Structure 1
């Protein structure tokens, strides 16, 4: 007697040979700012995210607000530093001088956090200083007073008003955002993550329930009609599942159905609506075969259509490169489930 049990089919579709942690180093400065903006957009805590990097940005590459109105301590400032090396004091301090200049000018209110975002993170020296905000403030003020560490005192003079802003500013707000954490944020948007890095997401395992569910009702009823016609006797689902003649065939059809169901679930996050388009393409591809009047039995019609479907080339679908062998016949079962195809006329 055939053994009946839940099956979990592991499915893995290829991944890129180069990890995002390496590819992110190749982004151009503008791409890096876009990357940071996309990372922020995955954070539900922000109600408005805007990339401002470029001329006139006033030191804000990306502005992420907690409220629609730009208010003090209700927004985060992201500084996107795309360098070939780790960011050090000489890279950060000129940017901080620009920010404090604009805070003194009231260009914008004080941010809640000032995030340093760099592909190679920060130098060990700056990393340690970030953890010592009081010492960092002292070093920064001295560098500004002395015109050191790349700060242009002619462009951004340390006026008494600006010095007051610096002294009142909590340097604990200045934080490093490790690139690994940024990549985890970016990965939440699977569509953009794949587009930028060419990462092919892994499909979740297809779990086939021990017993048929209500979702499978229509296509399984059609299969039972095929068996009834083929064996000249009607079978219940329980009888078919235990049948020496039909059990393996039935479970294979269910595995195909759930393989396509896995493709559908997979596509929802990355390619919304594309599985529906894929079903239309499959239907158009097998329709002539399925409607042929030459078939004498439902079994011959079903087997012919399922076999024919496996040879379909649907290359214009973004799902094409994600297909597993059972997806195409499984999609036919979905079409039967939607009553667009019948095995027994």
Structure 2
């Protein structure tokens, strides 16, 4: 018997290799990351998803824990009647497999049984939520309410009768069977991993959990012609700094008309303040709480020695501090990838607005 030998061909070159790819490897889509989650990681994700996403849809969202949950996991309430009103149920399960009919018969049975006993009204919608979604068999049943009902009846004895409660067996007698046959099984559905990821994408913790970078930052609003109350403190500080520089009082911005350099500086600092405020709003919606404040603290720590040094006047102090802020090497904060030099000037004015920085000594 002869053997043919061939050389191993050179592999095709990788395309679009970046520094980030070399350091961190290729980006794994979030829905694929969900497949790798441990039960604890899944629990953390569900908590985030429920807190940031479901709370936007309902007046109240609660999670039921313990053995007496009566088949209710995460409930979203549309009115004050809660379980006696209009509500939706999200049954969050972590299995090593895509959900099968045998995984859910008892859960469906609980909803039927406890609503039959009038412990709550049937939910408006009932979603199975699992990292690997539902398998083809269960998906087919969820798309056919009549078939789902018939299969529940057929599997009641084996999977439901002894599992609803530990205190009794729930027999599918004539009255319960009539209730099951009249029950609206179209309420049962499932959330796909793609749906979960898309809903979670709107949360401020999405990038921190899944990576992939921050979404595009909107343009900052232009400062209004009239100075607003919430910017009055840093404006007053700037006017005092200008007064110290020219040696005469500056009561309001209109007094800067005869000093074009200071007038233009003032307009730039107001623009910078609004840039920083837009970054604050962007951070609130895009990164975990405290991220923007941490960046502010980095700016403060980096400029405070310059701030405390001796300067010719308040205007010189402002210029020295903002210059120092722009030159800072900040790499750890996730907002740094979308922060511009003008934001750093603006954060200095935010710090002045909070009296953490003082442009004049008096």
TM-score by length of 2: 0.65
Aligned pair in 2 of structure 1 residues 323, 228: CA closer, same or farther (>3 Å)? same
Q: Mind listing any 5+ residue stretches in structure 2 that lack a counterpart?
A: 1-25, 165-169, 248-252
Any stretches of 5+ residues in structure 1 without a counterpart? 1-15
The residue aligned with 2:319 is 303
Q: Structure 2 vs 1, CA of residues 60 and 297 (structure 1 numbering), >3 Å: closer, same or farther?
A: closer
Partner deviation per Cα, 1:228-283 (whole Å, 9 max, x = no partner):
58xxxx9965677xx6x789866665554343223322344555566567556644
| Larger CA deviation: 307-316 vs 88-97 | 307-316
Instruction: Report what 2:349 is aligned to.
Output: 333
Q: Deviations over 1:266-312 (max 9, x none)?
A: 3445555665675566445534423433x335564333222223455
Alpha-carbon RMSD across the aligned residues, in angstroms, is 4.3
- Once the two structures are overlaid, the 10-residue window that deviates more, 23-32 or 277-286, is 277-286
Q: What is residue 10 of structure 2 aligned with on the other side?
A: none
Residues 1:61 and 2:73 are matched in the alignment:
yes
In the other structure, the counterpart of 1:342 is 359
Alignment match, 1:206: 220
Tell me the residue number matched to 2:148: 136
Note the C-alpha offset of 1:49. 0.7
Aligned length: 316
After superposing the two structures, state which structure 1 stretch, 281-290 or 317-326, moved more. Answer: 317-326
Against the structure 1 CA distance between its residues 99 and 271, is the aligned structure 2 distance closer, same or farther, given a 3 Å change threshold? closer
TM superposition shift of 1:170:
1.0
The CA distance in 2 between the partners of 1:17 and 1:236, in whole Å, is 55
Q: What's 2:307 paired with?
A: 290
Distance 1:55 1:248, change over 3 A: same
TM-score where L is the length of structure 1: 0.68
Cα pair 1:48 1:66 within 8 Å, conserved: no
Q: Which has the higher contact order (CA 8 A, sep 6+)?
A: 1
The CA distance in 2 between the partners of 1:34 and 1:51, in whole Å, is 16
Counterpart of 1:3? none
User: For residues 210-289 of structure 1, what are the structure 2 equivalents within 5 Å?
Assistant: 213-214=227-228, 215=231, 217-218=235-236, 221=239, 253=269, 256-269=272-285, 270=287, 275=292, 279=296, 282-283=299-300, 285-289=302-306
Counterpart of 2:63 (choices 50, 69, 92) is: 50
- Cα shift at 1:166: 1.8
How far apart are residue 104 of structure 1 and its match?
5.2
Classify 1:96/1:74 alpha carbon distance in 2 versus 1 (closer, same or farther; 3 Å).
same
